[in-house]
Amino acid sequence: MPLLTTLVRRWHLAIRRRIHDDLVAAGHDRLSPAHMYIFQSPGPDGAGPSELARRTNMTKQALNHLLAGLERDGYLRRVPATGDRRGTVIRVTPRGREVERLMNASSLRLEQEWARLLDEPTVEQLRALLVEIEAVTG
C-alpha cells in the first residue's frame, strides 16, 4: 500500500495538471503550473510579495520572477502600498480575475466528478478530514 503522502502528492499533481489544462484551453497558454499557486484561494489581491511568498511556500526571489511575468502579461500589477505600509501590494487585473474564476470553475468540476465517482457524502467526509488535518498540522 502506498504511503499517504505519496497518494496526496499524486492527487495534487493530477489536480494541478487538470486545472492547468483548462487554463491553457481557455487561452492562458503562457501560464505555467507554478503561476497557479499565486492565484489559489484566497488570491493575491492586496497581498504584499513577502506575504504571498509565505502563502505559496516560495522564496521571494522565485515569487518575484513569477510576478514579473504575470505583470508583463497583464494578469496583475504591483502598486505602492498605501498608509503606513512600505513596499508594494499586488492588484489583480480583469485578466487575472478571469484566471481565478477559471481555476475555481475547474476545481468545482473536479469535485463534481469525484462526487459522481465516489458519492457526495464520501467527498464531504474527505473534505472534513482534510480540513481537520490542515487544522492540526498548520
pLDDT of residue 86: 74
pLDDT of residue 85: 67
Name the β-bridge partners of 88. 80
pLDDT of residue 84: 67
What mean pLDDT do residues 99-116 have?
96
What mean pLDDT do residues 15-24 have?
97
Least trusted range by pLDDT, from 9-23, 42-56, 88-102? 42-56
Q: What percent of the chain has pLDDT over 90?
A: 91
Q: Quick one: cell of 69?
A: 511575468
pLDDT of residue 45: 94
pLDDT of residue 111: 96
pTM above 0.85, yes or no: yes
d(CA 121, CA 53): 35
- The ranges assigned to domains in the chain are 4-137
Q: Provide the CATH topology of domain 4-137.
A: Arc Repressor Mutant, subunit A (1.10.10)
Alpha-carbon distances of 101 from 29, 75, 117, rounded to whole Å: 16, 13, 24
Identify whether the C-beta of residue 99 lies closer than 8 Å to the C-beta of residue 75. yes
- Residue-by-residue DSSP string for 49-92: HHHHHHHHT--HHHHHHHHHHHHHTTSEEEEEPPTT--SEEEEE
pLDDT-based confidence at residue 89 (cuts at 50, 70, 90): very high
Shortest CA distance to 102 belongs to which of 31, 29, 22, 40?
22
